[in-house]
Structures are given as structure tokens and as C-alpha cells.
Amino acid sequence: MRRAPKASIDPDLRKSWLRRAYPLVKAHRALLLSSLVLSFAGLIVQVQIPDVVRRGIDDAIVARTASLTTYVWWIAGLAVAQGVINFLARLYLLRTAYEIEYDLRNIVYAHLARMPFGFYDRVQSGELMSRSSSDIRAVQMYLSFGPSILVQCTIALVAFVLMLTINVPLAIVAMATMPIIGLLGVGMRKAIHPVSWLIQSRLARLATVVDENIQGVRIVKSFAAEGRQLDALAESADRIRWAYLRDAKIRSRWNPLLDNLPRLGLALVLLVGGIMVIGGHATVGTIVAFNSYVLMLQPPFRMLGMIIMMGQRASASAGRIYEILDTGSEVVDPPSAAPPPPLTGLKTEPDPVDAGLRGDVRFEGVRFAYPNGTPALDGLDLTIEAGETVAVVGATGSGKSTLGRLLARFYDVTGGRVTIAGHDVRSLRLSSLRSQVGIVPDEPFLFSLSIHDNIAYGRPDATRSDVVAAATAAGADEFVVDLPDGYDTVVGERGYTLSGGQRQRIAIARALLLDPPVLVLDDATSAIDVEVEQQIHAGLQTAMRGRTTLIVAHRLSTIALASRVVLVDRGRVVATGTHEDLLATEPRYGRVLAAAPAGLGFSALGEASAAGSSTAPEGLGFSALGEASAAGSSTA
């Protein structure tokens, strides 16, 4: 089950990124502190070992005043202790890291899920995916591993103090090269940093190209554009190669320096220590111990550079994550959202004038422009009586699909208001509003789940018989039972293993399962053969019974499903009436129908109506009209 994140990001924009992220660390501070304390303890044990070696050499081997095995046992014991402590420290650190990552991921995803549609109109999905994975990782790394690396750097201090107690001049000699290693480490990271940025952004770009290629593979293939796409890929890959080669060049310039400086340190310890031993001012064991210290100390100094780079990367990543988190959700629940008004109860109502049909839908002087500024509706007035089915007809871009999006409050109106059963949609809780308004989009999205789960998407607890009933009503059952695993057949990604008409019917079933009193159907714009169309329409007729339905009609046969037609032009309703009325009185209606693309039924209209409807050619949708409207009126 999903566990809510233990903390959130501090919303105070004036604070630094680290201060804003602090609550995340604080929520897991017990774990992180345990890990840091343990790792410090491990370091204390670790720096003892060279000292025991020194005493073993000096006392047991050179002076022969003590037993050698005692020291051997000591070292073995310390090593085991260090192993156990390091195991625990590492375990706790990784747990902290993944707990922080889990919280951050959930914070980001929860926010993304609340983002308004306008946000998704703007951003690129590839970019979002990269933000939600690599950026989260970068911040997590710094928040958890940063403190741990700092603790490891304290080993230098502890070891230095220990060395000072053994031999002051030699301690200074042993430490002499460390600051240089530290500086070199920082220098190398500084040189590499811009290149690693370049690599990151170029990898993201490549991911976008690959993503588009895979998502758009049907288009790529249908235009035989594989060659062009490969060229684009090759160019992206080439840019990445170039950046990696630069990275390699910088590394191969700095790494030998960084690797060999410690050897210079060893040589210095041998020189100065050797002279001191010869002069009787130091012991042989001291030289051996200091050798170990020199080797032990250089990794933390090298890591100093890494910390700085991790910090820079985390800061940039945090900036991008905060950009998402700081974008507020525009469509929000009203402060005291009303519970869902009782619009439901339609399915079982035998009498159409009974209480269940009260959910009338009104658009009152609605103005709307999309977040990018594109105007869509310009003072539109439309009332759909409870239980009525209205077809909205208009030229492409006239604002038809926008109506459904405003009704379900994917966007908020810029002016006027949209009401259901007298309630402004903005006064309702989003979740209840959306359970009252069923939407069948023109290009339904199916998840790579079973057919059952796709239909039950809005009501995961639905039983198989509920699902079958919805599918039957939508005219989907007949093809589903023929699939290899019936309702358990898993559809390919986005449902590409199904035909357009089949996907449409699954989407209708999905909407019907919620039994919404208000239904919005966006007619598929793609051509579907007449037989499938009739099946869908048969399903739709059952679906619409007793519901307030708005159909965005792209084809003549769909218009026939409605009792009233509304003609929309440039974001306004310009005429309303029955199909026949409009044909007779409104020249613009005829023009819109005639302008519809061939194969979608409208284009046949001009000829057909001129020739008399009874002679309309079969298969162009017009003949379906007669039957459908006949069937429609009998059920109305």
C-alpha cells in the first residue's frame, strides 16, 4: 500500500534549496544520525590499526619485549569490529537514502497528479520523466551521502591527531601532500563539471529522440522515415560521444597526478622517517604506520572535490524539482467543497420523468482561452436538459471538444459559468464532479492492463459481472469474448493490439461502469467502417438512455443519436434545432457538414439530401441515420 511521504518540501521560496529540503532529512534524522555515528565509530577503529601495527613491529619484532600474537589478535579483532560497524553504517545510510528518495518521488508524483491539464499542454513528457528520476536521484545522493562523506573526511583530523601524538615532525610530513590532493581533486571536478552537465543534457535529449521514435513508430514507418530518424539518433549519439571523449581527456590528464601524489607522500615519509630512525629519533614501526596513514587519508581528500560537484548538481536538480512543486494546481477544490449533489440513480429508474433526470447542464456566457492564450469559447450559451442528448456540430477548432473539458473541469472557464443541476462545477469537489461526468474521448487511452482492469479503471472494485454488463451495454462484450483470454487479455501498450473501434467501445464501457448521470462523448475522428460504427452506436444508445449527454459529432450517423443539434462557430452557439430544421434553415450547418473529411459520412450529405434521403448510398453513414434516428426516437 502507498505510504504517505513523511515530510514535504518547505514552501518558503526565500530559503536556500538545502533549507527547503531539510524537512525531508529531518523526517529520517534518526536513521541518518545512527549511520553517521556508526561510520564515525568505524573510522576511530580504523585509525587504530596502523598504530597497533607500529607497536607490534617496535615491541614484538625489534625490541622483543612483547608477544607478537597479542598484536596479531588485536588487529584481527579491530578488523572484525570495523567490518560489523561499517556494515551497519552502510545499511542505515542506504536506508536513509532510499527513504528520502521514496518521499521525494511521492511528493513529486502526487504534485504531478494534481497538476492542471494546462501544465501538461506546456511541458514535454520526456523532460518530465527525466526530472522525476535523475533529478530526484541527484538530490537524494547529496542529502544522504553528502553528510556521510563529510564524516569520512573527519578521519583526516582524527588520524592527524593520532599521528601528532606519535611523532610531530613526521605527522606534518605525512600530511603535507593532502591539501594538494584536495586542491587537485577540486580542480579536476571543476574541469569536469561543465562536461558532465553537457553529458547529462545530451543524454536527456537522446532519451527524447528515442522516446519519440518508439512512441511514434507507426508514423515513422508509415512515412518510411526510418532513415531520417536514424540520422537524428546518430547525431544525438555523436554529440554524446564527443562529450564523453572530452570527459575522458580531462580525467586522463588529472587522474595520474592524483594517483601519484600519495606516492610522493610515501617517499617523503620514508626519507624524513628514515633519517630520523637512523638518528635514533623514531622507530621503524612508525614509518610503517605512517605509510598506512598516508594511503588511508588520501581517498577522503579526493572526495572533497566530489562533494562540491554533487552539491552543484543537486542544487540544479532541486531547482528543477522545485519548479514543478512551486507551480500550484490551478484547478483546486473550493475551500468548502459541497458533497456530490444527488444526480445519480438513473440506471434503475423506469420512468424517464422521475427524479433521476434532474441533472441539466448549462453553459452560461462561457468564455475560455487555453493557458497558452488560444481563445476557444467566446460567450457560449447552451442548456442541455436533464436526460437530453445534444449533438454539437461545428468546424474543426470551433470549440466543440472544449465544452466537455470545461464540464469535467479539466480547465476553468475564463468567464461565465458551467453548471450541473444548478451547481457551478467550481463549487463541487473535483473527485465527485468527475465521478458524475463520464467522458469518452475521441482517442481513448488504454493502459497495458487486462481488458477487465481497463474497463474497471474508474471503479477498481467492480466485479466481473459489473464489467461484463458495462461491456455488453457498450457493444464490447461480443469481441472481448472472442479474444484469447477474454476479459483477462492484456492489451498492448496504449491498447495498440485493439482496433480503433474496439478501443472506443472499451472506453465507452469504462465510462458506463461509473454510471455517470452526465456523459460526454467525443466522436472518433478516425474513419471506422460502417459495421463497427453501427455496433458502437448501438452501444451508445443504450449508454445514453436516461443520461444527460453531450456528443461532439464528427459524422452524420452520430448526429442521428441526438434529439437536438447545436451548431457551434468560433466559440459560440449560432443555431440549434433538429437535424432537419438546421438543414432547412441554416446554410452554415450544411456547409460544415459538407466540409467534413470524406469517409466520415458528412460529405455524402450534400448529394444524398439533394437526391432524397431514401436513395442515400449505403456505407456512407447516411443510411445509418434513418435507422439510428428511428431507433433513437423509439427509446426517447
Binding site for ligand ADP (CB under 6 A): 121, 370, 372, 374, 376, 394, 396-402
| Contacts with 84 (C-beta within 8 Å, 6 or more apart), sequence order | none
Q: Are 474 and 543 in contact (CB under 8 A)?
A: yes
User: Closest distance between ligand ADP and the C-beta of residue 397, in Å?
Assistant: 4
Q: Are 132 and 109 in contact (CB under 8 A)?
A: yes
Q: Write out the three cell numbers for 110.
A: 502526487
Closer residue to ligand ADP (CB): 82 or 401: 401
Q: Write out the three cell numbers for 367.
A: 468564455
Closer residue to ligand ADP (CB): 197 or 410: 410
User: Closest distance between ligand ADP and the C-beta of residue 400, in Å?
Assistant: 3
Question: Burial code of 199-214, b = ≥16 C-beta within 10 A, e = fewer?
Answer: bbebbebbbbbbebbe
User: Closest distance between ligand ADP and the C-beta of residue 363, in Å?
Assistant: 13
For CA atoms 609, 610, 615, 616, the dihedral sign is: negative
User: Closest distance between ligand ADP and the C-beta of residue 425, in Å?
Assistant: 17
Closer residue to ligand ADP (CB): 186 or 376: 376
Q: Which of 112, 121, 108 is nearest to 405 (CA)?
A: 121
Closer residue to ligand ADP (CB): 9 or 406: 406
29-55 and 68-114 helices, crossing angle to 10°: 160
User: Closest distance between ligand ADP and the C-beta of residue 410, in Å?
Assistant: 9
User: Closest distance between ligand ADP and the C-beta of residue 376, in Å?
Assistant: 4
Check residue 81 and report its DSSP letter. H
For CA atoms 102, 34, 52, 171, the dihedral sign is: positive
Torsion of CA 210, 212, 215, 221, to 10 degrees: -90
Closer residue to ligand ADP (CB): 305 or 399: 399
User: Closest distance between ligand ADP and the C-beta of residue 125, in Å?
Assistant: 14
Closer residue to ligand ADP (CB): 596 or 604: 596
Residue where the block lists cell 598504530: 51
Closer residue to ligand ADP (CB): 301 or 589: 589
| Contacts with 292 (C-beta within 8 Å, 6 or more apart), sequence order | 49, 50, 53
Q: Which of 447, 476, 451, 474 is nearest to 462 (CA)?
A: 451
Closer residue to ligand ADP (CB): 242 or 370: 370
User: Closest distance between ligand ADP and the C-beta of residue 494, in Å?
Assistant: 19
Closer residue to ligand ADP (CB): 455 or 596: 596
Closer residue to ligand ADP (CB): 470 or 520: 520
User: Closest distance between ligand ADP and the C-beta of residue 418, in Å?
Assistant: 14
Q: Which of 481, 410, 499, 492 is nearest to 454 (CA)?
A: 492
Strand 437-440: give its sheet, edge to edge: 437-440, 518-522, 548-552, 389-394, 564-569, 572-577
* Bridge partners, 565 (sequence order): 391, 577
User: Closest distance between ligand ADP and the C-beta of residue 529, in Å?
Assistant: 23
Q: Give the C-alpha separation, 66 to 627, whole Å.
A: 109
Mapping DSSP to helix (H, G, I), strand (E, B) and coil, where does residue 327 land?
A: coil
